[in-house]
């Protein structure tokens, strides 16, 4: 029994360390969000911006005296706060989907676009631009709506094509996803070539960015990301089982087909929602889970929440840089995520004893 | 612990349109230790998969405790039935303890974390599988054999009454193979039911109570190792020549496999071997490989040469065990001598019981046959007939028998037809 306590002690220590990592990530994410709201082309002191946000909180808001100008309030509440929140949500959604797909496909190269969602969204958005569609729904314009629909349709198509004999194997999902993505990308390129005047719009959308962020978008995206977070946290242990292969997971009590389908739907909804409001932002979904895995280990019960918070933190930082570095102009945020994310990732990789697997 | 029965009835399973299992049935009850043997591609693994809810049969049914296995929820099945696959790759660096704790999954509620009881079951399973010392090592850094034992511990941690294993010993060294089989046998004695696909037929014979032999997706035979493991079955199912003896300690069947040369039987001269006490076994095979038609005698049943000869299906003059060669056997021997082109006398021990064999050689000489004496040891050392053997031997030499000290040389002479 003495030895048991030794190893369980180690297990406890491991769990404690992982919990500390999660707490640190949560704290960092909150601090980054608050500071990001203060930063921008118009100077608003950190204390002031924090108090403006605080004043909007239910109940607690009355404790703060309004000692700021209406302009400051407008900038913080109507412009910066929704944008930072949107960055947070999109980052969370992408990283969450990345973690899910890497687990589901047991493939460290998997990212949110692996089964066609990004290219589907791109085609949807391109069609909206190309035909100048103007319909809107719930405060969302045609482009995000079409992007969302395109994303889900693409994933659905991949799943239907990959199904053989009632089950979709991981390998065929991957292959069909890659093939369909290439096909959709070629249509996007075709539409871009024949639509000279709108090509700029399409191109810029494809680069990804949060510049158009507003409260409507935040509210539109929130339910999808929230559902994704709740469901994936609920099913994190099942993802661990899948690391032994589908057959072994089933023998340990997992209904693999239903589980795969649920995870694909949840992740695709999160990605579709994220992509529809931000365009295609690379790197966050691929690298965040890897970075978090180096800190928490491969247990999805820690990896999933860690990735969610890490993704939010990462995209808030990247977007803040994108809009402040060359203010009043903006960089596409995708450039920032790759420029800073990749070297940091390589640094962690070199430092880590175990490497990626 | 509730011991449920696993029953497979007339299973047919297929990949695409190819049947891999055609009509197998099996009932597994508490305490059974069943070995499944058969050549590669005979459907053993597929059979085990259909039993473990991983491959839905096209026809037939698998019942777990009387209920259709494929209609039961996966979690429920996983509490009664555990399976160790041939190989399990683990993605990402989980520690061995974490992997074994996954075996507790079917016993845990959705958001319930593994508690002290689960940890205790995991520890016990890991100690049984000899991997407790690896508990906090990442499985990705373990050797194939260590990882296999971690997966075995994971299956044991499921605390099931039924355990299926698909060649679990293939990555294990002999010491771990034996300790695993001892462990399983011990657990069977306490009620666990084991079905195990095995390649090592001797280990299967030592540990399994019943064997199911599969060939081409069908049952070839089944029964106790003693009933199933015969030279004829092994040749039919695996296409190998073997001698089945008894394990000296456990008295279970013990199989000795014979090297298979290219069979070029019956094209060369007819050779009769006078041998005994395993002095002729190697020569029998070499002469057969060289294309000779080989006969032997007179041999006592149970003699090493007699067993080899039986396995190689050669004609022999046979006497009862440990008996003096009777006139009847001697006459049968002389008959075989008459049919032969050449007679070879190995460096056998000669006593009063088999002195007639040297007489037979002298008959051969007198009948005009070529006779060769393999004499790597002098006859005096082998004479237990108080000089009678040496005397007969000298007369053989005097009458023209050719003495050769080396087996290869002897075979060359026999085939070349020289020496007389």
pLDDT tens digits for range A273-284: 888 888 888 888
* CATH number of the domain where residue A137 is located: 1.10.3470.10
B285 assigned to some structural domain: yes
Give the mean pLDDT of chain A: 84
Going by their DSSP bridges, the two strands B253-257 and B242-246 should be labelled as: antiparallel
Give the integer Cα–Cα distance in Å for B140 and B89. Answer: 9
Averaged pLDDT, A5-28: 82
- Beta-bridge mates of residue B244: B255
Contact B111 A234 (CB under 8 A): yes
Give the integer Cα–Cα distance in Å for B412 and A49. Answer: 104
- Tell me the three state secondary structure of residue B6: strand
Give the integer Cα–Cα distance in Å for B392 and B394. Answer: 5
The answer, yes or no, to whether residue A137 has pLDDT greater than 80, is no
A30 assigned to some structural domain: no
Contact A241 B111 (CB under 8 A): no
Q: Are residues B302 and B185 in the same domain?
A: no
Residues of A in contact with B89 (CB under 8 A): 245
Q: What is the 3-state secondary structure (H, E, C) of B243-308?
A: EEEECCCCCCEEEEECCCCCCCCCCCCEEEEECCCCCCHHHHHHHHHCCCEEEEEEEECCCHHHHH
State both tokens at B33.
Answer: 């230790």
Averaged pLDDT, B216-233: 90
pLDDT of residue B420: 44
Q: Which of A257-266, A271-280, B265-274 has the lowest mean pLDDT?
A: B265-274
Higher-scoring residue by pLDDT: A5, A196? A196
Higher-scoring residue by pLDDT: B15, B72? B72
The answer, yes or no, to whether residue B168 has pLDDT greater than 70, is yes
B346 assigned to some structural domain: yes
Q: How does DSSP classify residue B168?
A: T
The answer, yes or no, to whether residue B266 has pLDDT greater than 60, is no
Does ipTM come in above 0.85? no
Give the integer Cα–Cα distance in Å for B73 and B71. Answer: 7
pLDDT of residue A211: 81
CB A319 within 8 A of CB A210: yes
Domain count, chain B: 2
B192 assigned to some structural domain: yes
Contact B120 A4 (CB under 8 A): yes
What residues make up the domain containing A267?
Answer: 86-351
A140 assigned to some structural domain: yes
Pick the last residue of a domain from B165, B199, B229.
B229
What would the pLDDT profile of B30-57 be if each residue is shown by its tens digit? 999 999 999 988 889 999 999 999 888 9
Averaged pLDDT, A89-107: 90
Shortest Cα distance from B127 to chain A (angstroms)? 11
B201 assigned to some structural domain: yes
Name the residue in chain A with its Cα closest to that of B124.
Answer: A4
Give the integer Cα–Cα distance in Å for B303 and B296. Answer: 12
* CATH number of the domain where residue B214 is located: 3.40.50.300
Q: Shortest CB distance from A8 goes to which of B53, B77, B119?
A: B119
Residue B92 zone, left/alpha/beta (φ > 0; ψ -120 to 50; rest): left
B248 assigned to some structural domain: no
Q: Are residues B164 and B286 in the same domain?
A: no
By residue count, chain B amounts to 420
Domain count, chain A: 1
B199 assigned to some structural domain: yes
What residues make up the domain containing B219?
Answer: 6-229
The answer, yes or no, to whether residue B65 has pLDDT greater than 60, is yes
pLDDT of residue A353: 55
B242 assigned to some structural domain: no
A48 assigned to some structural domain: no
Residues of A in contact with B118 (CB under 8 A): none
Residues of A in contact with B78 (CB under 8 A): 251-253
The full DSSP string for A32-78 is HHHHHHH-SSS---HHHHHHHHHHTSTTGGGGS---S-HHHHHIIII
Consecutive H or E run containing A305: helix A300-324
The answer, yes or no, to whether residue B418 has pLDDT greater than 60, is no
Residue closest to B63 by CA, chosen among B119, B11, B127: B11
The answer, yes or no, to whether residue B275 has pLDDT greater than 80, is yes
Contact B54 A7 (CB under 8 A): no
B413 and A CB contact within 8 Å:
no
A77 assigned to some structural domain: no
pLDDT of residue A357: 44
Give the integer Cα–Cα distance in Å for A214 and A100. Answer: 28
Q: Are residues B111 and B208 in the same domain?
A: yes
Residues of A in contact with B94 (CB under 8 A): 240, 243, 297-299
What would the pLDDT profile of A205-247 be if each residue is shown by its tens digit? 788 888 888 888 899 889 999 999 999 999 999 999 998 888 8
Give the mean pLDDT of chain B: 88
What would the pLDDT profile of B315-354 be if each residue is shown by its tens digit? 899 999 988 999 999 999 999 999 898 999 999 999 999 9
Contact A240 B111 (CB under 8 A): no
CB B153 within 8 A of CB B131: yes
Residue closest to A56 by CA, chosen among A82, A30, A32: A82
The answer, yes or no, to whether residue B265 has pLDDT greater than 60, is no
pTM for the full predicted model: 0.77
Residues of B in contact with A8 (CB under 8 A): 119
* CATH number of the domain where residue B286 is located: 3.40.50.450
pLDDT of residue A352: 62
Q: Are residues B95 and B157 in the same domain?
A: yes
B296 assigned to some structural domain: yes
Q: Are residues B101 and B152 in the same domain?
A: yes
Contact A357 B52 (CB under 8 A): no
Averaged pLDDT, B107-117: 83
Averaging pLDDT over each range in A119-128, A189-198, B203-212, B400-409, which range is the top one?
Answer: B203-212
Q: Are residues B192 and B328 in the same domain?
A: no
Q: Number of H helices and number of E strands within chain B?
A: 16, 18
The percent of residues in chain A predicted with pLDDT above 90, rounded, is 27
Number of other CB atoms surrounding residue A195 within 10 Å: 17
Q: Are residues B179 and B299 in the same domain?
A: no
Averaged pLDDT, B162-183: 91
Residue in the structure block whose two tokens are 């004829």: B232
Higher-scoring residue by pLDDT: A350, A286? A286
Higher-scoring residue by pLDDT: B267, B205? B205
């Amino acid at each position: 029994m003495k030895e048991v306590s030794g190893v369980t002690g180690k297990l406890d220590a491991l769990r404690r360390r992982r919990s500390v990592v999660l707490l640190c990530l949560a704290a960092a994410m909150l601090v980054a969000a608050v500071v990001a709201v203060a930063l921008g082309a118009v100077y608003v002191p950190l204390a002031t911006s924090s108090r403006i946000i605080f004043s909007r909180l239910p109940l607690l808001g009355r404790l703060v005296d309004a000692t700021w100008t209406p302009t400051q309030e407008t900038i913080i509440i109507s412009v910066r706060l929704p944008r930072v929140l949107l960055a947070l949500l999109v980052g969370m959604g992408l990283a969450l989907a990345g973690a899910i797909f890497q687990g589901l496909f047991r493939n460290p190269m998997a990212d949110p676009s692996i089964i066609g969602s990004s290219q589907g969204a791109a085609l949807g958005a391109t069609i909206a631009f190309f035909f100048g569609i103007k319909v809107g729904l719930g405060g969302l314009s045609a482009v995000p709506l079409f992007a969302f629909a395109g994303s889900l349709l693409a994933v659905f198509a991949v799943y239907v094509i990959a199904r053989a004999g009632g089950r979709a194997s991981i390998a065929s999902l991957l292959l069909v996803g890659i093939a369909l993505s290439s096909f959709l990308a070629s249509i996007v390129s075709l539409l871009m070539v024949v639509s000279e005047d709108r090509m700029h719009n399409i191109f810029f959308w494809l680069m990804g960015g949060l510049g158009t962020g507003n409260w409507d978008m935040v509210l539109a995206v929130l339910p999808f990301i929230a559902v994704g977070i709740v469901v994936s946290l609920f099913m994190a242990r099942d993802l661990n089982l899948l690391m032994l292969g589908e057959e072994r997971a089933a023998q340990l009590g997992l209904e693999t087909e239903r589980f795969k389908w649920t995870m694909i739907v949840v992740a695709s909804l999160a990605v579709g929602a994220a992509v529809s409001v931000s365009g295609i932002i690379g790197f966050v979904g691929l690298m965040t889970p890897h970075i978090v895995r180096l800190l928490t280990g491969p247990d999805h019960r820690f990896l999933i929440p860690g990735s969610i918070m890490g993704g939010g933190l990462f995209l808030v930082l990247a977007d803040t840089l994108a809009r402040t570095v060359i203010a009043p102009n903006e960089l596409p945020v995708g450039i920032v995520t790759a420029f800073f994310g990749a070297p940091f990732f390589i640094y962690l990789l070199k430092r880590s004893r175990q490497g990626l697997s | 612990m509730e011991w449920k029965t696993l029953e497979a009835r007339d299973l047919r399973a297929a990949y695409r349109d190819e049947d891999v299992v055609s009509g197998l049935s099996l009932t597994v009850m508490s305490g059974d230790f069943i070995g499944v043997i058969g050549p590669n591609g005979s459907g053993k693994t597929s059979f085990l998969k259909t039993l473990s809810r991983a491959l839905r049969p096209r026809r037939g049914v698998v019942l777990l405790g009387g209920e259709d296995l494929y209609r039961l929820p996966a979690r429920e099945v996983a509490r009664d039935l555990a399976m160790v696959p041939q190989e399990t790759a683990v993605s990402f660096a989980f520690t061995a303890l974490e992997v074994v704790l996954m075996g507790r999954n079917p016993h845990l509620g959705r958001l319930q974390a593994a508690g002290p009881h689960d940890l205790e079951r995991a520890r016990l399973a890991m100690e049984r599988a000899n991997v407790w010392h690896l508990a906090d090592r990442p499985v990705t850094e373990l050797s194939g054999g260590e990882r296999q034992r971690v997966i075995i511990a994971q299956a044991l941690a499921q605390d099931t009454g039924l355990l299926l294993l698909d060649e679990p010993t293939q990555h294990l060294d002999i010491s771990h193979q034996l300790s695993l089989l001892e462990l399983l046998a011990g657990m069977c004695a306490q009620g666990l039911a084991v079905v195990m696909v095995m390649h090592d037929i001797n280990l299967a014979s030592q540990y399994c109570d019943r064997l199911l032999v599969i060939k081409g997706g069908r049952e070839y035979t089944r029964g106790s190792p003693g009933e199933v493991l015969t030279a004829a079955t092994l040749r039919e199912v695996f296409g190998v020549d073997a001698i089945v003896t008894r394990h000296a300690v456990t008295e279970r069947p013990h199989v000795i496999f014979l090297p298979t040369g290219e069979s070029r039987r019956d094209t060369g001269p007819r050779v009769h071997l006078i041998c005994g006490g395993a002095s002729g076994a190697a020569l029998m095979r070499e002469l057969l490989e060289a294309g000779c038609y080989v006969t032997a005698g007179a041999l006592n049943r149970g003699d090493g040469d007699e067993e080899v000869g039986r396995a190689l299906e050669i004609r022999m003059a046979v006497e009862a065990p440990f008996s003096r060669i009777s006139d009847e056997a001697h006459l049968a021997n002389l008959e075989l001598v008459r049919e032969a082109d050449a007679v070879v006398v190995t460096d056998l021990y000669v006593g009063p019981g088999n002195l007639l064999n040297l007489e037979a050689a002298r008959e051969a000489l007198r009948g005009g046959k070529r006779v060769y004496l393999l004499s790597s040891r002098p006859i005096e050392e082998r004479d237990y007939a108080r000089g009678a053997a040496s005397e007969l031997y000298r007369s053989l030499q005097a009458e023209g028998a050719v003495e050769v000290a080396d087996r290869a040389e002897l075979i060359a002479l026999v085939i070349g037809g020289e020496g007389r």
